[in-house]
Amino acid sequence: MTTFELLKKVCESYGPSGREAEVSKTIEKLVKPLGYKCTTDALGNLICHKEGKGTRLMFAAHMDSLGLIATYFEDGGQIRFGAVGGLYPYRLLAAPVRFANGAVGTVEKDGDVDFKDLTIEKLYIDLGVSSKEEAMKLVKVGDIAVYDSPIKECKGNMAMGAYLDDRAGCVAQILAMQMIEKTDNDLWFVFSTQEEVGLRGSKVATFAIDPDYMLACDVTHSDDMPKAPHVGSCKAGCGAAVKVMDRSVICHPQVVEKLVGLAKDNGIKYALDVIKAGGTDAGAAQLSLDGVPAGGVSMCCRYTHSPNEMVSISDVEDCARLMAAFAQAEF
């Protein structure tokens, strides 16, 4: 399977925060043949372990996505919803969405609301029905819709669609697992849950694994837009973005140094990454147990949390190469 085909398969699986079973099953099928022991914990984390006597290394990429959770039904069948994770109201306008049972619809705003006053509360999901009764046959309170934007291949070696944050990270981990040849290190690859609602899955996984080092693989800001506010330091196509800092973590200097050294030694394209907004699973891991030296490798993502995110396919592969090198390194 090509990297693009993997991205398509993993990104298009249903899996909003707290409801990751389907995407977890998709990933488990892909990694099972690689000889890992796969278990699922109480929070739904998919934990893949290959035993070794060496350094205990934990990798985490979150498999949960943002979602729209049904809260209220209007008489006309329109569904009001709350945010699961960081939804921006303007990104939701006209977004195609689907529920777990396959019911599809679009998001619109109330007719009397000005764009500048847009909030989640002024939006609704239209499933194409005309009454509350019809809508309630399809969806109940607490059901979660996700963006229904298939992954496409753009020019410029870019994948476009929903939830490259962070299924691209999941794919990078799968590729890394495929690339690893020989090591004594004790390897733990976690496909974590509930990252988008507060880095919850990786926290409990870190307690279970008790790693010597932890790496999060996630997306980062792509600082390549016109009139960009320069809140980040990397851009799409830069290779593996080696995290130095985000809002959740100041990466352990030894981990940053190790990653940079491995990138140089193995000829892997990389850049140093500082972002002023957003967090990753590394933030939760470093504060678990009595503290864990943590870091991250990331792919730059344009239009994060929109239905049409963009990530460079070669960046996904560079992140995989760097994680595979880290997995096989001596510490």
Answer yes or no whether residue 186 interacts with Zn ion by CB under 5 A: no
**Binds Zn ion (CB under 5 A): choice among 20, 64, 143, 165:** 165
d(CA 112, CA 183): 62
The two tokens of residue 117 are: 């006053």
Residue 310: CB minimum distance to Zn ion, A: 14
Residue 330: CB minimum distance to Zn ion, A: 30
**Binds Zn ion (CB under 5 A): choice among 20, 64, 166, 318:** 166
Answer yes or no whether residue 143 interacts with Zn ion by CB under 5 A: no
* Residue 20 vs 166, nearer CB to Zn ion: 166
Residue located via tokens 């870190």? 206
195 has catalytic annotation: yes
d(CA 26, CA 311): 21
102: CB partners within 8 A, 6+ apart: none
d(CA 95, CA 92): 5
Answer yes or no whether residue 64 interacts with Zn ion by CB under 5 A: no
Per-residue buried b or exposed e for 12-41, using 16+ beta carbons within 10 Å of the residue's own CB: bbbbbbbbbbebbebbbebbeeeebebebb
d(CA 37, CA 189): 10
* Residue 166 vs 186, nearer CB to Zn ion: 166
Residue 309: CB minimum distance to Zn ion, A: 10
Answer yes or no whether residue 309 interacts with Zn ion by CB under 5 A: no
Among 12, 20, 195, 196, which one carries the catalytic annotation? 195
Answer yes or no whether residue 218 interacts with Zn ion by CB under 5 A: yes
Residue 159: CB minimum distance to Zn ion, A: 15
Which residues are registered as beta bridge partners of 271?
A: 241
Which residue sits closest to Zn ion, CB atoms considered?
166
Enumerate the active-site residues: 195
Which residues in this chain contact Zn ion in the complex, by CB under 5 A? 165-166, 218
